[in-house]
Amino acid sequence: MIWVNGVSQASIAPMDRGLAYGDGLFATMRTDAHGILFFEQHQARLTAGAARLGFDWQMSQTLSQQLDTLAKQYPQHCIKLMLTRGVGGRGYAPPEQVQVTEVVSVHPIPAQYALWQQQGIRLATSAVQLGHQPLLAGIKHLNRLEQVLIKSQPLPQGFDDWLVLDCTGQVIESSMANIFFVKGNQVITPSLERCGVAGVMREQVMLALLAQQMNIDCLPFGAERLVEFDSAFITNSVLGVVDVLAIDSHTFTPSPLTADLRQTLSLSL
């Protein structure tokens, strides 16, 4: 179930800059019986990300209607929307006239995500570290070769995903989700000023925690500080909120915050 510029099963042009250079960005959005969760926030994030890459994009009414229709046809699914700068020449320089390519696809939610919400997961620290590029930090751009390298490594037995550090040893995220740490009434999530993806669910969780009078900080910190925290959890728009039971050999106690967040934000699978 793929649409390119609104045409079912169409192909992307061989000279599309998304294919040639990863020149674009994407969003993965979860659906329920009412439509796409946090649809306006996903739109705003895509528009802002395109602006940071240097091209103008606003969601058309036609695309919005298509996504709404698909969401209602396929509740409890994942809709992926990719945007590229469109067709360009051989070189890196972007074309003066941009015709954005829009690719929509519909996918089932991975079956293990519901189990992860119930039981939690364990993370192992990846040997692949993220490089620094502040101009791209936070954007969910199409240049995801670092994540491909991370996911190409076999996980140790008993672990479910990778914890990812940057090239200076600072904690950033899991391979596919943002991460939060809890100590009493204090919640800390890594700073993403130099690398990493600032997810829509990360923002929604932070707003929900602030509404509960929790203290939240976005700080850089190294992996050596993980032993200071009582609890940890990961978030993204598809899996919602999931407890982290352990990182490497260090264990965490599941936080009551996670069940509250799933209920408050309607994230249960």
Listed in sequence order, the residues at least 6 apart from 257 whose beta carbon sits closer than 8 Å to its beta carbon are: 182, 187, 209, 212, 214, 231, 233
Contact 130, 143 (CB under 8 A): no
* Catalytic annotation present for 72: no
Contact 117, 241 (CB under 8 A): yes
Q: How far apart are CA 28 and CA 199, in angstroms?
A: 10
* Catalytic annotation present for 193: no
Q: How far apart are CA 145 and CA 260, in angstroms?
A: 35
In the set 31, 84, 102, 140, the catalytic residue is 140
First to last CA, the chain: 22
Alpha helices in 120-255 (DSSP H): 145-152, 200-211
Contact 188, 217 (CB under 8 A): yes
In the set 84, 101, 173, 235, the catalytic residue is 173
* Catalytic annotation present for 140: yes
* Residue of 74, 27, 19 whose CA lies nearest to 50: 27
The residues annotated as belonging to the active site are: 28, 140, 173
